[in-house]
Amino acid sequence: MIIPIVSLDKIYIKPDEENIFYFDCTRIEGEDRITSRKQESIQEQVQRISKSVEGNKIILADDVVFSGSVLRKIIDYFMKEGIEVVGILASISTKDGYDYFNQNLEKGLKTNILLGEDVLDQICERDFYFGIAGSGILVKTDSGLVKAPYFEPFGNPNVRASIPLPDVKSFSKGCIERSIALWNEIDRLQGKKTCIGDLPEKIIGTNEDEEVVKVLKKKGRSL
């Protein structure tokens, strides 16, 4: 029996909507809940996939398993639709996540890299560049959901990436400097200034008509 895979990332696994499905979700900063980055809601995706898969079992695939909190929520959502998550595939996993899912799922968790207990965190470089698609974490504001890169003054690199508190300021300044260099080069290549409104996602604490490089320089001076 072939058990369909539901992937939380389509960079590494190509969905065919028959044996491999794509499930879009992301966690909201400071809240114990997840949301979809697409128009289709979490519940709508779960219902659609549940109706499309053959049988009542699926395997989830993700790039990194850390605490496993997002995966556990997804498992609960599918369970309510009568679909059992029997296993998880991951490129990287912490020992805590590995142990939990191997104790609680029929086929457990299989991973390429099992992180040692002395590893503090796993990070992705794109989260430390301003305005890159898919980077940072969603933050709920009065005007809706916006993104926060993992450096000050937008986000907290200590909480988000385990950067030691004494190093937060210098680390954040370095991220801003690299982001300025990136957007200066983008502006040069495209022959015009990039504004916040041109970015793929709205960044917390910014206005759409501001130029990206000017915003970064201003924020850097405030640190």
Q: Which domains does the chain have, with CATH numbers?
A: 5-114 (3.40.50), 125-222 (no CATH)
Query: Given this model, what pLDDT does residue 197 score?
Result: 95
What CA–CA distance (Å, rounded) separates 166 from 163?
9
Q: What pairing do the DSSP bridges indicate for beta strands 108-114 and 26-27?
A: unpaired
**Tokens representing 46?**
């779960």
Query: Given this model, what pLDDT does residue 66 score?
Result: 86
Per-residue model confidence as pLDDT tens digits over 1-48: 789 999 998 777 888 988 999 998 877 776 556 777 667 888 999 999
Q: What is the mean pLDDT of residues 197-220?
A: 95
The pTM assigned to this predicted structure is 0.78
Query: Given this model, what pLDDT does residue 38 score?
Result: 66
Per-residue model confidence as pLDDT tens digits over 172-183: 999 999 999 999
Per-residue model confidence as pLDDT tens digits over 116-155: 888 888 888 999 999 998 889 988 888 788 999 999 999 9
Q: What is the mean pLDDT of residues 154-170?
A: 95
What CA–CA distance (Å, rounded) separates 80 from 89?
22
Nearest to 156 by CA among 148, 147, 166, 145: 148
Query: Given this model, what pLDDT does residue 74 score?
Result: 93
Query: To the nearest whole percent, how much of the chain has pLDDT over 70?
Result: 97
Amino acid at site 129: Y
Torsion sign across C-alpha atoms 189, 190, 191, 195: negative
Q: What is the mean pLDDT of residues 53-71?
A: 91
- Beta bridge partners, 148, equal 137
Query: To the nearest whole percent, how much of the chain has pLDDT over 90?
Result: 70
Q: Which residues are within 8 A (CB) of 203 and not within 5 positions of it... i.e. 6 or more apart? A: 130, 131, 136, 146, 147, 148, 149, 154, 196
Size of the chain, expressed as the number of residues it contains: 223
Per-residue pLDDT band at 158 (split at 50, 70, 90): very high
